[in-house]
Amino acid sequence: PEIMAFQARALLTSKWLADAMKTQSKMRILDTSWYLPKLRRNAKSEFKKKHIPGAAFFDIDQCCDKTSPLDHMLPSEKVFADYVGNLGIEKDTHVVYDANQLGAFSAPRVWWMFRVFGHSAVSVLNGGLRNWELEGKPVTNQYVRPTATDFKASLSRSWIKNYEDILDNMDTKRFQVVDARPEGRFRGLDPEPRDSTDTEPGHIPGSISMPFYSFLSKSGHFLPQEQLQALFAQAGVDLNRPLCVLCGSAVTACHVVLAAHECGHPGVSVYDGGWSEWFTRAAPEHVISDGRGKHL
């Protein structure tokens, strides 16, 4: 029963994971590291040099809808099931993640992907690889390819919003919209990080700024629940009402989902196209900016 109790817990400590690795043969660990192209870091080659023993690599640029012009949009059920099955993950497996950078960057996105495809036994390693190593826990460069399994995925469409949903919501105001990008990009003053696009910074009318890193402590751990609740309250977000989040391409938006989940919110939806899609498709008056904004 103790193991089951942990299955729904979104955040796990390094100590818990280190202990569980010794006793739970079915547990899979995933390194979900991903970096913006301009950082010129290769997450997969870093994984090969160093990862938590037994981990496999989950690549959000591979497990995605490759027919979409937008970055790493959610894949179909079949693509997700095949990709995850090849990592040896089963429906009943307790999946734990590890990401590195600020303590968490891309791990919440993969946590959310599993949940949106019907797999709730998934947790994020709180503090990431950075703190795992600081606490003296083991890493390795050895990799054993997992035995493929038959994974079943079932997509919860209600957790995903598209461009039309956001546009419609500007009139109906059925849900609150939170933007997880850094404040400078939200305000339209700092450039968007992708060199390959003409996307200017700014924000959706009526959206609320909650930069993803505000949920993390300096040590790279998610803040305790009381502090997370205070952040939502300060931002004017009502956790008893429907909530939708976005960022540039729906990676760091999932930090808001995880933080709201920790505060008891039943399920935050994600605008998967994010600012990248909104800027491309929206009318100029729907791009709010202190900078250049959008001109036809």
pLDDT of residue 3: 45
Residue 75 and residue 200 share a domain: no
Residue 250 and residue 215 share a domain: yes
Residue 108 and residue 15 share a domain: yes
Q: Which domain holds residue 252?
A: 158-286
CA–CA gap between residue 75 and residue 259 (Å, rounded) = 24
Tell me whether residue 295 is in a domain: no
Q: What is the number of structural domains in the chain?
A: 2
Tokens of residue 166, six digits? 């956001």
In whole angstroms, how far apart are CA 170 and each of 142, 164, 206, 224, 225? 51, 10, 8, 32, 30
pLDDT of residue 41: 84
What amino acid positions are annotated as catalytic residues?
247
Residue 200 and residue 102 share a domain: no
In whole angstroms, how far apart are CA 60 and each of 31, 103, 111, 173? 11, 18, 11, 31
pLDDT of residue 92: 65
Residue 27 and residue 151 share a domain: yes
Per-residue pLDDT of the chain (296 residues; tens, 9 = 90+): 344 444 458 999 999 999 988 988 778 899 999 888 777 888 988 999 999 999 999 999 889 988 888 888 899 999 999 999 999 998 666 677 665 667 888 999 999 999 999 998 899 999 999 999 999 999 999 998 889 999 999 999 999 999 999 999 999 999 999 999 999 999 999 988 876 668 899 999 999 999 999 999 999 999 999 999 999 999 999 999 999 999 998 889 999 999 999 999 988 999 999 999 999 999 999 999 998 777 76
CA–CA gap between residue 271 and residue 249 (Å, rounded) = 9
pLDDT of residue 79: 94
pLDDT of residue 99: 58
In whole angstroms, how far apart are CA 112 and each of 154, 159, 185, 257? 13, 10, 24, 8
Cross-strand bridge partners of residue 160 = 270
Tell me whether residue 191 is in a domain: yes
CA–CA gap between residue 4 and residue 26 (Å, rounded) = 13
Residue 226 and residue 180 share a domain: yes
Residue 143 and residue 177 share a domain: no
Q: Is the dihedral of CA 65, 66, 67, 70 positive or negative?
A: positive
Residue 174 and residue 132 share a domain: no
Residue 151 and residue 39 share a domain: yes
Residue 175 and residue 150 share a domain: no
pLDDT of residue 153: 93
